[in-house]
Structure 1
């Protein structure tokens, strides 16, 4: 849950920097859980009241989460040394989506790359 809140609250529309695999995949996991939960509750409420208006809750959630979803994906691509524009590779039918999942699952570059410092490096402040 901490990773989901970090993306939504702290990095809502932050397209610069790098995101670890754990940050990306935990965000995806919780995003799917929340999306299915909201769709299920909206469907139940819609069935109980015989109005489809509650599906608006689901649409509001999807519209609210689309920017942080793209932002964390771009930061994840930065971690493997790819430009954020590489996200458009998903538009290639079948192969593009598979390739993108492979990139998201690949370990990021060690050390600093052109998109920023390695997010896995522990920063220790040494006071003398």
Structure 2
């Protein structure tokens, strides 16, 4: 469980708006999973208890937009691709699938144009 929290802290707190460098596949998907769980829990609480939790849900959703985009950019950098490919996500239906495939690709095993190989002590689980 610590690996998920560590990945979330790495993306949201330590690299809030960092669009430079690389992010390993394992850390990226752990961030996505934790973000999804938090969003689902807040959504359920909002539907059950009303306005206060809707406000919390909206604030959370707005708060993770920048780190989410930054994480996506760094994940694409890990595969030596440009962050501009994130714009593919604007294409309905197809864009989402293409981004999932790009995010799931294995990163470069050596330094690339965007920096050295990201160090992820949990990569054996990815």
TM exceeding 0.5? yes
Structure 1-normalised TM-score? 0.85
* SS state at 1:108 partner: coil
Q: Which structure is larger by alpha-carbon Rg, 1 or 2?
A: 1
Distance across 2 between alignment mates of 1:119 and 1:5: 16
Q: Which runs of 5+ in 1 are unaligned?
A: 47-51, 123-128
Deviation readout 1:79-128 (Å, 9 max, x if unpaired): 01111111001122332221111110000012111000011488xxxxxx
Normalized against structure 2, the TM-score is what? 0.86
CA–CA separation in structure 2 for the residues paired with 1:87 and 1:5: 22
Q: Which residue of 2 aligns with 1:29?
A: 33
Cα distance in 1 for partners of 2:66, 2:29 equals 16
| Aligned match of 2:14 | 10
Q: Give how far 1:32 is off.
A: 0.4
Q: In structure 2, do the counterparts of structure 1 residues 121 and 59 end up closer, same or farther at CA, with 3 Å as the change threshold?
A: closer
Number of the residue aligned with 2:90: 91
Q: CA separation in 1, counterparts of 2:35 and 2:49?
A: 21
Instruction: Give the unaligned 5+ runs of structure 2.
Output: 122-126
Alpha-carbon distance in structure 1 between the residues aligned to 2:84 and 2:30: 22
- Corresponding residue for 1:77? 76
RMSD: 1.6
